[in-house]
Structure 1
Amino acid sequence: MGNSFGKIFKISTFGESHGLGLGVVIEGCPAGLEIDEAFIVQEMQRRKPGQSKITTQRKEEDEFKILSGVFEGKSTGTPIGMVIMNTDQKSKDYGHIADKFRPSHADFTYFEKYGIRDYRGGGRSSARETAARVAAGAIAKMMLKHYGISIQAYVSQVGSLALEQSYQELDLSKTEDSIVRCPDPQKAEEMISLIDEVRKSRDTIGGIVSCVATGVPAGLGEPVFDRLHAELGKAMLSINAVKGFEYGSGFEGVKMRGSEHNDAFYQEGDRVRTRTNHSGGIQGGISNGEDIYFKVAFKPVATIMIDQESVNEGGDSVTVSGKGRHDPCVVPRAVPIVEAMAALVLADYLLISRTNKL
């Protein structure tokens, strides 16, 4: 249970960090969609480890293989199966915590739930699982592009270093110009320096990924429990290390009066628009045609290269020493994961919307 996501455009992922590989089965992808494998490669490269000095130095090329559901470059309407083989596991790096619980990891909770756990890199709880999501998200993005919908995420904060501009004031085309994936060149350099400083001190730091979806038509979302923002929140909170989600004005909205916060409607040609967008493109749980924007907060990576107090499976006090290759800050590599999960939600709700009315 808990390994599938979506209703019509549905994915199921499998695999562990140090197993043979990972994979995903995509159901509900409409037939006839042109599958651009070069684009999937591009998306996987954005998420893969070892891409810069501020990410984990594990070397995985994340090469994928499509096993089913695609014929002569197009989706057939049947399940699309994809696998990504692991090639650079160093399981010996985890032998010292075979019976120890790492602080703020899923070691203890997985052991309590199942009575057994794969301690090598966290097994199924590892963020390596998100490689399968990015592969599936790439196909969802292809479908959304067919409908004129695009998704762009970027790093807006690392520690206390935060962008002050809104996404409308930034040139988001510059996001990939920096290894930290921040579209502001000056702030990007400051973020890189901070992450590198934290890395050298054998510690980790958190941050925020902001995301905007443009071209989303009005009418996506379902009452009452399947509101669009609720599903986006679930998608984002399912990503490893995520501690918070807010959309539109978010928590800042509590400082405003209703007269300031309300988004006034006006007619623009044949389309109803809003003069402001504090709603974040969603009202009543349904998209209103404006940009959908949200933020995702990531905690500092739990594995640190500093001794920590803990207990083992027998309840004895132990010291846990960090080893292996880990990200000092997860947000640069989280950008394509956030985009992938947003794409999966929007692709699913786009298909669901076809069932709402004649």
Structure 2
Amino acid sequence: MNLDLTTEDSEFRSQVRAFLRDNLTEELADAGRLVTSVFIEPQFSLPWQKILHARGWAAPAWPVEYGGTGWTEMQRYIFASECARAGAPSLSPMGLAMVGPCIIGHGTPEQKAYYLPRILAGEDYWCQGYSEPGSGSDLASLSLRATSDGDDYILNGTKIWTTHAHHANMMFCLVRTRFDGKPQEGITFLLLDMTLPGIKVDPIITLAGEHEVNQVFFDDVRVPKSGRLGAENDGWTVAKYLLEFERGGGSSAGLEASVGRIRALATRDGLLASDPGFTSRLAAAEIGLEAIKITEQRVSSALSSGGNPGPAASMLKVQRTEMMQRIDTLGIEAGGTYAGVEQLDARQPGSNIEPVGPSDRVTLVPRYLNNRAASIYGGSNEVQRNIMAKMVLGL
């Protein structure tokens, strides 16, 4: 990847910086800096999405005909980097980065016409119904039953670790429509309304003390078949397509911004900045990020030419999540004594609670704890290595 900016790229960067300066409010930037996850509360992400949508910048990776920007790969990288540096809140990936591309790739014309504008505008807020108790990385063993009844499916069962289900009005969901034959051949992909009768959402509080994930129960929930994406019993094909975007989507820009903050912390500390062990580990992380950016460029090239991420998505998923965890560990080391103080109230955007110690330490441990799950969700990294061994190495 050539990171030297052309004149046009430099002008575009100036344009993005000016946009952020004029539109990113202090409240939104504060929320972006305090986030401890890839997800941020919709009270902050949705207003920012509406601002971006008004500018036509909500979905840079989408095809232009569906509302994308038509930017080059370098422009998308510049935009993501500048947003991360400015502390802009991240947008929920469930709609824009996951089910949106899936609808583009597998939806009917009617589904595209209905759902895609609503995703862009933030009118629908999505959650993902994949994992179940006992069916995480072994997703093909899922058992949420969908019984055909005329124009509807009747759903009974449960989903777990469902991020932001307590906020979502829509879910993309894998259900079991057939119990005989190969497990993968009896799965159907559904788009459903979270306000349907019979759906119950119970909170799960994470180790970081946050309500981000949930368990969702379905009790005779009647879902119209018009919400089916792809053919009945062919949901595994759709699900794998979506998982490639989940694993391969995103950008290392946020990780780069985190490294920059850690280097600033170490510089202010003084001692760490001259510690050869710490500086060596930090430099190694920066070198690793450069390698990740090269892989991201390859995936972006595949997407821009109409392809899908393929096995490179698994490679990126492993590289990004393990790098994230390395950076989190460096952050705690750079944060020193104050990093370990539990300050749930002080790290809420807009809070008037004074933090114990410097304010830039309050998210270090919560982010570390939250991101321990990164190498598990979206398919564990062990599963990703199996995919790479099979599809790349032919083992």
Q: TM-score range by the shorter chain?
A: under 0.3
**Greater relative contact order (Cα < 8 A, sep 6+):** 1
**The structure with more strand, counted as a fraction of residues:** 1
**The structure with more helix, counted as a fraction of residues:** 2
TM-score by length of 1: 0.26
TM-score by length of 2: 0.24
